[in-house]
A = this chain, B = another copy of it.
Amino acid sequence: MRAKPRYQELKEMIVRQISSGRLKPHDRVPSENELVESAGVSRMTANRALRELTDEGYVERVAGLGTFVADPKAASHLLEVKSIAAEIESRGHRHTARVISLKKEPADADQARALDLARRTPVFRVLLVHFENGLPIQLEDRSILPEFAPEFLLQDFTLVTPSEYLSDIAPLQEAEHVVRATRAPAEVREALDMERDEPCLLVVRRTWARGRPVTYGRLYHPGSRFELTGHFAPPGVRPTAPQPGLEQKP
């Protein structure tokens, strides 16, 4: 058998064209029959490639019409890799950030466990507050394996959020999340301008690359000013999306 299945090669070829920008959202992707011609595969193989790309959110297909590059937003899922800045701006609000600290420091017990390191191994760590229209909305406490992002300490995180920077240098990662309601520690409460005993939504997030954890973040949100939302369409429910603004085709 081939090293890579042909439907997989087809998928990767198309994804390359999308992520390189040669194919833009709403552009037409070659039809199954065109792929049969150009790639020399059977139509069922082309169909599988395009169908899986549909499931993965890269393209949308309309029977009778064709296959089109999907709008990036359609691909996003609750807690998916998505920057809080983009979210705030997509609400039409203004995002700003303030860096509290940004330095290399020895891992504490928590970081060491999360990143699978020995205690006191040096890690990069940034603490910053995100504001929505001037209101503090998230305290981000993030640690990164230095060898994964050597330039990390040189970034200006008031311009590019850590998530954006990291997803730039390694776009496809795996992530693990834990969501909890907690009482915020005093310093968090202070940074976020929260009332005493105000509930706090804590999202703990780890991302992997090459089989090992490389970043670890604790994201604190004031309960009264923040919520996580998401839409989930399980298997087979293809047409999808009751969601209020349904998007249409050009």
Contacts and interface: CB of A to CB of B under 8 A. Distances in A.
State the main secondary structure of chain A at its contact with B: mixed
A229 B179 CA distance: 6
Contacts of A149: none
A73 to B, nearest CB: 12
Contact of A176 (B80, B223, B229, B234): B229
A15 to B, nearest CB: 7
A201 B223 CA distance: 9
Interface string A185-217: 000000000000101111010101001110000
B230 A174 contact: no
A250 to B, nearest CB: 8
Contacts of A241: 174
A88 interface: no
B213 A174 contact: no
Contact of A11 (B174, B204, B230, B236): B236
Given A181-B181, A197-B197, A246-B206, A175 B232 contact: yes
A81 interface: yes
29 contacts: A8-B236, A52-B235, A52-B236, A53-B235, A75-B235, A78-B79, A81-B232, A81-B234, A172-B235, A172-B236, A174-B237, A174-B241, A174-B242, A175-B231, A175-B232, A176-B246, A177-B228, A177-B229, A177-B230, A177-B231, A177-B232, A178-B228, A180-B223, A180-B227, A180-B228, A181-B199, A201-B201, A212-B242, A213-B242
Interface of A: 8, 11-12, 15, 52-53, 55-58, 75, 77-81, 114, 116, 172-183, 197, 199-202, 204, 206, 208, 211-213, 221, 223, 226-237, 240-244, 246
